[in-house]
């Protein structure tokens, strides 16, 4: 909705609407109030780029994120921006932080008249809230949900993610083929995909005839990893494999195993998730699930560019995580 559309509805000139938008004098109070009501009803947002570049030449992509600190999401953001810039696009980053909502961030993108948008955040899981915000603010441009596997069922929304359920199922299969019979799954506190990870693990122990226990809500630190292994071995001394949904937890498990005299991997197999640089730094070197963050980032950027170019694009792209075996399995 532009000032020309509002002017047509109000029966006034575009200049009059512009004066109201910019809070300038020269408009009758009754006319001003009528235009303000129309602006609110039609969710009008001013074009902040109009003075510098027209939309067709700006080639600006909006990126919304809730995390500018962690290494994992930092890598995704870097890979996405690099891919877009290499293809001639510019990027505008909107950080939601603790106080701003997705709706506020998308409103800002709308005011920038971005060509497309990518949403990247571990807290962007409220499908109804996000769908409503997209429908209101960005209904006519492509939006890509990065590192999410949920299909939003909207014509302009695309999802690129990984299959964590299948990944943990494959881990159980691999360990069962190595003769492991009693497994434990450790999931870090606050993990959005807890149910998905757990369902893959539980499907695996059913399919391959092994036993398993699940420990949720464990803070992702080394000391907590050490503590949880002691708890696991106290509750089920026959445990011979521990899967951790975070590398730091797995490293804590390794430390506790060494203190308890449990040989790894002869007596106890240990796996993490993320395939971080920590896996090569610890001894023995940690086996881990690779979340293939660079591949997800690049696929998300390319999905958006293909949609902008009118190419056929799948609304849901699911990539397979990779098991990176080292010395702990």
Instruction: Dump pLDDT digits (tens) for 295-326.
Output: 999 999 999 999 999 989 999 999 999 999 99
> Which domains are delineated in the chain?
3-41 (no CATH), 55-163+294-321 (3.40.50.2300), 164-290 (3.40.50.2300)
Low-confidence ranges of the chain (pLDDT < 50): 51-56
**Residues belonging to the chain:** 329
Q: Which pLDDT value is given to residue 77?
A: 87
pTM of the model: 0.77
Q: What is the pLDDT of residue 51?
A: 47
Distance separating alpha carbons of residues 175 and 271, to the nearest angstrom: 10
Angle between helices 3-10 and 14-21 (to 10 degrees): 110
Say what the pLDDT of residue 83 is.
Answer: 93
pLDDT at 24: 79
Question: What is the structure's pLDDT at 50?
Answer: 56
pLDDT in tens, 274-300: 999 999 999 999 999 999 988 999 999
* Residue burial 90-115, b: 16+ Cβ < 10 Å; e: rest: ebbebebeeeeebbebbbbbbebbbb
The reported pLDDT for the residue numbered 151 is 84
What gap in Å lies between CA 314 and CA 57, rounded to an integer? 27
């Amino acid at each position: 909705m532009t000032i020309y559309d509002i002017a047509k509805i109000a029966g006034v000139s575009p200049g009059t609407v512009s004066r109201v938008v910019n809070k300038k004098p020269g408009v009758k109070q009754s006319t001003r109030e009528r235009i303000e009501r129309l602006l609110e009803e039609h969710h009008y947002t001013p074009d902040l780029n109009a003075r510098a570049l027209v939309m067709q030449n700006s080639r600006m992509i909006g990126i919304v994120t809730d995390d500018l600190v962690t290494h994992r999401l930092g890598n995704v953001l870097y890979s996405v921006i690099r891919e877009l810039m290499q293809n001639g696009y510019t990027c505008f980053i909107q950080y939601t932080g603790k106080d701003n909502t997705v709706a506020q961030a998308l409103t800002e993108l709308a005011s920038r008249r971005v060509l497309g948008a990518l949403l990247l955040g571990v807290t962007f899981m409220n499908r109804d809230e996000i769908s409503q915000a997209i429908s209101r603010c960005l209904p006519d441009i492509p939006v890509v949900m990065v590192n999410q596997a949920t299909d939003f069922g909207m014509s302009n929304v695309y999802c690129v993610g990984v299959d964590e359920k299948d990944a943990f199922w494959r881990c159980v299969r691999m360990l069962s083929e190595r003769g492991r019979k009693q497994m434990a799954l450790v999931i870090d506190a606050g993990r959005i995909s807890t149910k998905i990870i757990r369902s893959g693990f539980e499907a695996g122990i059913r399919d391959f005839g092994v036993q398993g226990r699940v420990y949720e809500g464990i803070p992702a630190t080394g000391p907590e990893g050490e503590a949880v292994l002691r708890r696991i071995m106290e509750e089920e001394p026959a445990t011979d494999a521990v899967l951790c949904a975070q590398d730091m937890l797995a490293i804590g498990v390794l430390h506790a195993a060494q203190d308890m005299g449990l040989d790894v991997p002869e007596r106890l197999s240990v796996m993490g998730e993320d395939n971080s640089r920590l896996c090569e730094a610890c001894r023995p070197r940690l086996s881990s699930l690779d979340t293939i963050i660079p591949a997800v980032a690049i696929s998300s950027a390319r999905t958006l560019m293909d949609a902008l170019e009118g190419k056929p694009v799948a609304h849901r792209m699911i990539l397979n995580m990779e098991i990176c075996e080292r010395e702990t399995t």
